[in-house]
Amino acid sequence: MLALFEKSAVVLELELRKMMHDQSDIIIRTIQPVLWLTIFGSVFGQLRQVPLSGVPYLAYMTPGVLAQSVLFMAIFTGVSLVWERDLGQLDRLLCAPIPRTAIVLGKALTGGVKGLFQAGIIFAIALVMGVSIIFNPLYMAAVIAVVLLFGICFSSLSIFVMTLLKTRERVMGIVQLITMPLFFASNALYPIELMPRWLQAISFANPMTYVVAALRALMITGDLSGLPTDLAGMGLATVIFVVLASAAFRKIGA
Amino acid sequence: MSKIIEAEDLTKIYAGNLTAVDHVSFSVDEGTLFGFLGPNGAGKTTTIKMLTTLASITSGKASVAYHDCAKEPNEVRKSIGIVPQDLAVDDDLTGIENVMLAAKLYRVPESIARKRAEELINLVDLKDASKRLVATYSGGMRKRLELIVGLIHQPRIFFLDEPTLGLDIQTRAVIWDYIKRLNKEHNLTIFMTTHYLEEADSLCDSVAIIDHGKIRISGSPSELKEKVGGDVLEIDVTNGASLTEFFRSIQGVKEVKQTGSKYRIKIPRAEEALPTIFEGISAKGLKIREVSLNKPTLDEVFLEVTGRSLRDEPSGAEDSFQRMITSRRRL
């Protein structure tokens, strides 16, 4: 078990060092959330017809945009893994004496850590735009933990789906197919109560919903009553996806 | 010498019933340099992948470093180093980062890894470039880095898949020089594939030629050359009685052809038979006008067992290597 985490950490270090040498990816990834907050947020906020129990719309959607940008980023973990597999770069890890699960965990952890960079940027933008975020160190630490877990969760989902695909060409289509429903069938942009009943049922099974709810409680409302449920839902999804990803990944190259 | 690599009826069938490797058996002695030769698509890379635990074994058995590849893959992985044909180092990391991270994957303690990395980097003359991103390296530098990344954990066996493919002649010579030194100085067993038969000939202790998934012939390069008929001796003598019968009577002669006053004789280790031949010709009162001795090359062996020359092959592997590079750059 200890060896597993040690090796996962090496994979994480490898990925982070690569990221530090080429920061363009991180910078480009900040553009999308900025657009969501500045354009979508300010226009949609004018409607004032969304029942948000007294929270300004921009504040309401900030955790949603944070979750979305981590989701979009995490979903590419599997895409880059498939690239590395096809280019033969993955062989170096596969022929080293490390558990397959360590590769999956290391890559997923990378997704989580990159998510933290996104979180930092979105915090900054939201503050500039006048969103009042709860500045309690404990809450902030909890936000970090949730983002990290979320990144791991969806990176694993991505690794699971992408390693099942045989060709890279299908990847981009699948990325859309996964991210859009996850995003729209969640409470990221609007409360679940506004959804038609069938969509509510889907959003209940959508891990994204629990993540957004947890982030919203910790960053904006401070109402922690639903937090245990949210964390349990997220934790469950993470365990399931890590196990699935490891199982699928074990067949790679066989 | 003990057999550090053993394959027994090793077979790989991919989905769709494509048999890439078909009941292949061979062994490699510890500390030797083994060349695995064959045209593109013959099953070389698939064999390497099975031996290095990167591909599952459909049937048959393989053991590497005295561990079963299927049952104890982790023990095998600990004992081997690999330089794959594809890109194996990270462009977005510096040379030294690539080496040190590889060391961590194999749990080489940091202080030992640093010392070893420094030695290896000096050995392959990458000292000045070690702190630069690999993206700035030339093809030869990259290959040299790949060699030492594969060696940092001091493996017992080193697998090299086309280590000099796509490199210019000088760089190839330098790479072979390193490989030879590693083999001699560290008693490292080396298993490699190559397209350059003349290099395999001069470097390898033993070779096997694989074609359509089957091993056609194996042995030391000189054994193989003997098997295909050995040396070719051409002698031009002053006119006189036919010497064909005389040549046939010499031990080891496989074939004699006469055209006019010229004789073409196939014989293994011709140099050993030369004195007898010369003496015999003088005894018959004839004079030799001209003698030429041609040693066969592995190319001829290859031609003999596969029915085609490796040189005639469209160099598909090289093209795909270039494609790999360009597609990597586009990422």
Instruction: Determine the Cα–Cα distance for residues A15 and A108; give it in Å rounded to an integer.
Output: 10
User: Are B255 and B209 in the same domain?
Assistant: no
Which residues lie closer than 8 Å to B251 by C-beta, 6 or more apart?
A: B273
User: Are B166 and B262 in the same domain?
Assistant: no
Ordered per-residue pLDDT tens for chain A, 254 residues: 778 888 899 999 988 998 888 888 888 888 888 888 888 888 887 877 666 777 888 899 999 999 999 998 898 888 888 888 887 778 888 889 988 889 999 999 999 998 898 888 888 888 898 888 888 999 999 999 999 999 999 999 999 988 888 677 777 788 888 888 889 999 988 888 889 999 999 998 899 999 999 999 999 988 889 899 999 999 999 999 999 999 988 876 54
**Which residue, among B48, B54, B324, B326, would best test binding to A if mutated, counting the most A CBs under 10 Å from its CB?**
B54
> What is the mean predicted confidence (pLDDT) over B30-42?
90
Of A10, A87, A97, the CB nearest to B77: A97
Q: What is the pLDDT of residue B317?
A: 47
Q: Is residue A86 included in any domain, yes or no?
A: yes
Q: Report CB contact under 8 Å: B105, A91.
A: no
Q: Does the beta carbon of A10 lie under 8 angstroms from any beta carbon of chain B?
A: yes
Residues of A in contact with B102 (CB under 8 A): 92, 96
Q: What is the pLDDT of residue A50?
A: 66
B272 Cα to chain A: minimum distance (Å) = 48
Which two three-digit tokens encode residue A70? 């981590």
Instruction: Determine the Cα–Cα distance for residues B117 and B89; give it in Å rounded to an integer.
Output: 15
A237 Cα to chain B: minimum distance (Å) = 29
Q: Is the pLDDT of residue B330 over 60?
A: no
Q: What is the pLDDT of residue B188?
A: 93
> What are the CA-CA distances from residue B324 to residues A84, A96, A123 (Å)?
11, 22, 40
Q: Does the beta carbon of A139 lie under 8 angstroms from any beta carbon of chain B?
A: no
Q: Is residue A189 included in any domain, yes or no?
A: yes
Q: What is the largest CA-CA distance in chain B?
A: 78
Q: Are B159 and B191 in contact (CB under 8 A)?
A: yes
User: Are B183 and B283 in the same domain?
Assistant: no
Q: Is residue A1 included in any domain, yes or no?
A: no
Per the structure, the count of domains in chain A is 1
Q: Is residue A80 included in any domain, yes or no?
A: yes
Q: Is residue B189 included in any domain, yes or no?
A: yes
User: Are B135 and B260 in the same domain?
Assistant: no
User: Are B187 and B203 in the same domain?
Assistant: yes
**Domain ranges, residue A183:** 7-12+23-249
Per the structure, the count of domains in chain B is 2
Q: Is the pLDDT of residue B250 over 80?
A: yes
**Which residue, among A21, A23, A92, would best test binding to B if mutated, counting the most B CBs under 10 Å from its CB?**
A92
Q: Is residue B82 included in any domain, yes or no?
A: yes
Q: Report CB contact under 8 Å: B85, A88.
A: yes
User: Are B77 and B200 in the same domain?
Assistant: yes
Which two three-digit tokens encode residue A118? 């996104």
pLDDT grade for B18, boundaries at 50, 70 and 90: confident
Q: Is residue B248 included in any domain, yes or no?
A: yes
Of B80, B84, B149, the CB nearest to A91: B84
* Of A91, A98, A33, nearest in space to B74 by CA: A98
Portion of chain B with pLDDT greater than 90, in percent: 42
Q: Is residue B291 included in any domain, yes or no?
A: yes
Q: Is residue B181 included in any domain, yes or no?
A: yes
Q: Is residue B300 included in any domain, yes or no?
A: no
Q: What is the pLDDT of residue B243?
A: 86
Q: Is residue A254 included in any domain, yes or no?
A: no
Q: What is the pLDDT of residues B198-225, one digit of tens each?
A: 888 989 999 999 998 999 999 999 888 8
B262 φ/ψ angles, rounded to the nearest 5 degrees: -100, 140
Q: Report CB contact under 8 Å: A89, B101.
A: no
User: Are B13 and B139 in the same domain?
Assistant: yes
User: Are B51 and B85 in the same domain?
Assistant: yes
Q: Report CB contact under 8 Å: B92, A18.
A: yes
> What is the mean predicted confidence (pLDDT) over B111-117?
94
Helix axis angle, A207-216 to A137-164, nearest 10° = 160
User: Are B74 and B198 in the same domain?
Assistant: yes
Instruction: Determine the Cα–Cα distance for residues B249 and B246; give it in Å rounded to an integer.
Output: 5
Neighbours of B215 (CB within 10 A): 23
Q: What is the pLDDT of residues B268-314, one digit of tens each?
A: 888 888 898 898 888 888 888 999 888 888 888 888 888 777 655 55
User: Are B273 and B314 in the same domain?
Assistant: no
Provide the Cα torsion A93, B60, B309, B84; round to 10°. Answer: 10
Q: Is residue A222 included in any domain, yes or no?
A: yes
- The model's pTM is 0.81
CATH code, domain carrying B316: 3.40.50.300
Of A6, A91, A97, the CB nearest to B74: A97
Residues of A in contact with B88 (CB under 8 A): 88-89, 91-92
User: Are B233 and B220 in the same domain?
Assistant: no
Q: What is the pLDDT of residue A232?
A: 93
Q: Is residue A17 included in any domain, yes or no?
A: no
Q: Report CB contact under 8 Å: B104, A95.
A: no
Residues of A in contact with B328 (CB under 8 A): 87
Q: Report CB contact under 8 Å: A253, B55.
A: yes
**Domain ranges, residue B47:** 3-224+305-330
pLDDT grade for B328, boundaries at 50, 70 and 90: very low
Portion of chain B with pLDDT greater than 70, in percent: 92
Q: What is the pLDDT of residue A149?
A: 93
Q: Report CB contact under 8 Å: A13, B101.
A: yes
> What is the mean predicted confidence (pLDDT) over B111-127?
91
User: Are B53 and B165 in the same domain?
Assistant: yes
